[in-house]
Structure 1
Amino acid sequence: MDTKGIGRRVAYWRERRRMTQADFGALMNKSRRWVQDLEGGQRQSDPRLSILEGVARVLSVRLEDLLSDTPLGTGTECVDATELEAIRSALQRHDVITGSCDVTDIEPVPVETLSRNVEYGWTAFQASHFASLGRVVPGLLIDANRAAARHEGDARLASFRLLSMSLQLVEAVAIKFGDTGLAFTAADRSVVAAEHSEDPVTMAAAARHLADAMTHHGQAAAAVEFAVASAARLESDLTGRGADGLSVLGMLYLKAAMASATIEDRRAAPRLLDQAGHHASQLGTDGNAMYTAYGPTNVAVHRVAAHVRLCEGAEAVAAAEGIPDPHRDALPRERRAHHLVDLARGYTQVGRREKAVETLLLAEEEAEEEVRCRPHSRQLVEDLRLLGVASAEGRLQALAARCGLPE
């Protein structure tokens, strides 16, 4: 048995669970030195299965996660159920629900520090570094709520803006991993925090995330109405706010278009995409204001996604072929990989299943987490296995194994 490999996995998961060696030892009823020896592969030549089962229980991982020969970082990059539960627990704290001060003498984080932490979270998301978010987000929510509750004046308004951005990040992460209930709760709270910030840009950003959460939570028709109403309410304020304002305004129309496509409204979806395209033309270039990746290319990417939701695979493929490669490649990794997964589903819809596998593998090269972690992507892999992919069968089976899907 590879005791050093097991030790490295124990250390990895202990640190990911944000446990000290002393805390982990206490939960195992062992000393810190025992933990050091275990993680160093020096505990014993053949660790007892009962010990490893206890380690797996304390760390909330599967026993096979400790015994696997797969290199760390392969299959461990996903936010897991334990980390999603930690995020949910942070959202369910009394102080976070009520927006009140927690009972502590801890000083609120300075706005500048909080802003850097929010930026780190969103940068990690757009780079598809999802595992780090599972560790960072719960503390970020608590810090942002405490800052909004305790700061005063302009610092208080800025803290509400950052609290809203933190909650929007939770919505985005939860959607990735298929927890639509958590996404809806976080997005709803983000809208409330945004209203307290008195900043129209933040209000629009929160509204687009709530529209997204509503769509995934089975409320697509209401999402269209909410996104369009939010755009109408805030447009006059947003058009004078430069790239930030135009980007979040355009994203509201993109989310309304995607919601329309979800309910197969073939008249509204193109019209809303055109409206988003108009604001992208006003912006004049691709950018990433407010972490939107917004511009003409993102509008084009959403046209592909809308065609896929409408089961118009041929139109999706044609729309994707019209996107210049350099423009697509300039998008954040998360958006590029997401687009390729959508395109793979479009190829599947027109029966080009070998091309779909090839496109999924390209998406995996861009951001393996986008393919291996997301329920949406894993379902596509399963669908292709059921349909059969001829000469791509070997590559598909290897991808399914990397996704952790049963044989």
Structure 2
Amino acid sequence: MDSQGIGRRVAYWRSRRRMTHATLASLLERSVRWVEDLEGGRRQSDPRLSVLEAIARVLQIELGALLADAPTAQCADAVELAQIRATLQRHDVITGTAGADCADPLPVHVLRAQLVHARSAFQAGRFGLVSRSVPELLVTTNTAAALLSGDDQLTAYQLLALTLELAEAAAIKAGDTDLATVAGHRAVAAAERSEDPVIMASSARHLADAMTCHGQPEAAVAFALAAAARLAPALLARGGTPAATSVLGMLYLKAGLAQAAVAESLGETPAVDAVFDLLGEADGHASRLGRRDGNELWTAFGTTNCQLYRVAAHVQLFDGAAAVAVATEIPPPATAALPRERRAHLWGDLARAYTQAGRYEDAVTTLLRAEDEAPEEVRCRPRTRLLVEDLRLLAGSSGQGRLRALAGRCGLPQ
């Protein structure tokens, strides 16, 4: 065995599990020096299989993870999702309180900087990193909201709501829609306490997305439209700021995509027409921003993102040809200006559209383009991995070599 390679992988997984050398040493009943030597490849003999099995058990990974290099795409795993769930189940986080032994709250400017870093990582397609950062950020923002007062407390509630949104979004990417719905509900509650209609609308659009992914599209449509009707007067007051216009437009985009899921199940023309009426409402709000595609409050809202949602809606309605037609109308510079996560999402939807249209070679090429943009969008998302499986069955000999290699990177059976 490669002792240096094993040591490097032990260090990687120890760090990913947020363990210190001392913690790992204690759990293995070894010395800190022993762990440090193992990670540094300084052990005089290769570790025995029984030792590696014990390390894997403590780190909650498969033994094979210690015998092969860590993948480039660091997908959130079951342990990390369980940590988010456990954090959401903490008494202080549920009740919005702080225990007597709680540390002093961090200043809101520090919390904001941490949130900006995490949400920027999400838009860069680094979903695993986000999943690992969410639990601590949930605790610290909750503590600040519980202990601060005045404007600082309202700001802390804003940051808590935005962190809960991030937990919802990370859970969606990992395919855990139950966890996403829980986080989405908590985000809406925290947003209400922030007294900020922009944050309220932002959290509402995330919950609508979670409802749709959780198989409740009718409820998602109703919730998003109710939120839009309630908050629009405040959001549009005095012309509306770019952030206010963006979150209101996003509510209609989420309602439109949820309506597409409803229409797909009903197969009725009025239900389909309603999809594009809602997307048209979003277009109207995007036009208020001019031709600028902004990223207010991490929405990436603008005319280009509205077109991305039209592509996704056509795919949801199994009209791949229409989705391809919309996608080809998006100017390449506009696509290039989007965050990586949005670009990769577009290529993933377009690959589905090509698959629906029977253009399997184009589907494979486009899926690989998505992987280049954001590997975790393809290799980690259950729905994209399912598309890889479907293409392996549908494409015949077309692109099979590339598909086999992609399936391997996705961890799918060969």
- TM-score (normalizing by structure 2): 0.96
Task: Give a deviation string over 1:285-342, Cα, whole Å, max 9, x none.
Answer: 1010010000000000100000000000000000000000110111000010011000
Task: Give a deviation string over 1:50-80, Cα, whole Å, max 9, x none.
Answer: 1001101101111111101x4x4424x1111
SS of equivalent to 2:47: coil
Structure 1 residue 150, shift from structure 2 partner: 0.4
Counterpart mapping for 1:295-334 below 5 A: 295-334=302-341
Could you tell me which residue of structure 2 aligns to residue 50 of structure 1?
Answer: 50
Cα distance in 1 for residues equivalent to 2:413 and 2:108: 47
Residue identity (%): 58
- Code of the residue aligned with 2:216 in structure 1: it is Q
Cα distance in 2 for residues equivalent to 1:6 and 1:215: 42
Structure 1 residue 218, shift from structure 2 partner: 1.1
Indicate whether 1:87 and 2:84 are aligned: yes
Could you tell me which residue of structure 1 aligns to residue 103 of structure 2?
Answer: 106
Structure 1 residue 159, shift from structure 2 partner: 0.5
CA contact (8 A) 1:308 1:316 kept: yes
CA RMSD of aligned residues (A): 0.9
Cα distance in 1 for residues equivalent to 2:327 and 2:213: 23
Cα distance in 1 for residues equivalent to 2:281 and 2:102: 49
CA contact (8 A) 2:360 2:398 kept: no
Counterpart mapping for 1:69-148 below 5 A: 70=69, 72-75=70-73, 77-148=74-145
- Code of the residue aligned with 1:7 in structure 2: it is G
Task: Give a deviation string over 1:19-59, Cα, whole Å, max 9, x none.
Answer: 10011000000000000111011224321111001101101
CA contact (8 A) 1:28 1:55 kept: yes
Structure 1 residue 105, shift from structure 2 partner: 4.1
CA contact (8 A) 2:217 2:261 kept: yes
Could you tell me which residue of structure 2 aligns to residue 223 of structure 1?
Answer: 220
Could you tell me which residue of structure 1 aligns to residue 266 of structure 2?
Answer: none
- The 10-residue stretch of structure 1 (111-120 or 97-106) with the greater mean CA deviation from structure 2: 97-106
Could you tell me which residue of structure 1 aligns to residue 360 of structure 2?
Answer: 353
Cα distance in 1 for residues equivalent to 2:294 and 2:410: 32
Could you tell me which residue of structure 1 aligns to residue 405 of structure 2?
Answer: 398
Could you tell me which residue of structure 2 aligns to residue 246 of structure 1?
Answer: 245
Could you tell me which residue of structure 2 aligns to residue 62 of structure 1?
Answer: 62
Cα distance in 2 for residues equivalent to 1:331 and 1:373: 21
Could you tell me which residue of structure 2 aligns to residue 380 of structure 1?
Answer: 387
Structure 2 unpaired stretches of 5+ = 264-270
SS of equivalent to 2:29: coil
- Code of the residue aligned with 1:64 in structure 2: it is G
Indicate whether 1:187 and 2:184 are aligned: yes
CA contact (8 A) 2:158 2:194 kept: yes
SS of equivalent to 2:106: coil
Structure 1 unpaired stretches of 5+ = none
Could you tell me which residue of structure 2 aligns to residue 149 of structure 1?
Answer: 146
- Code of the residue aligned with 1:238 in structure 2: it is L
Cα distance in 1 for residues equivalent to 2:103 and 2:376: 36
- Code of the residue aligned with 1:282 in structure 2: it is R
Structure 1 residue 172, shift from structure 2 partner: 0.3
Q: How many residues align?
A: 404
SS of equivalent to 2:219: helix
Counterpart mapping for 1:4-43 below 5 A: 4-43=4-43
CA contact (8 A) 1:354 1:389 kept: no
- Code of the residue aligned with 2:315 in structure 1: it is V
The structure 1 residue matched to 2:157, chosen from 155, 160, 185, is 160
- TM-score (normalizing by structure 1): 0.98
Cα distance in 1 for residues equivalent to 2:22 and 2:71: 25
Could you tell me which residue of structure 1 aligns to residue 342 of structure 2?
Answer: 335
Cα distance in 2 for residues equivalent to 1:102 and 1:204: 30
Change (3 A) 1:194 1:254: same
Task: Give a deviation string over 1:168-215, Cα, whole Å, max 9, x none.
Answer: 000000000000010000000000000000000000000000100110
SS of equivalent to 1:134: helix
CA contact (8 A) 2:131 2:167 kept: no
SS of equivalent to 1:404: coil
Could you tell me which residue of structure 2 aligns to residue 213 of structure 1?
Answer: 210
Cα distance in 1 for residues equivalent to 2:213 and 2:93: 24
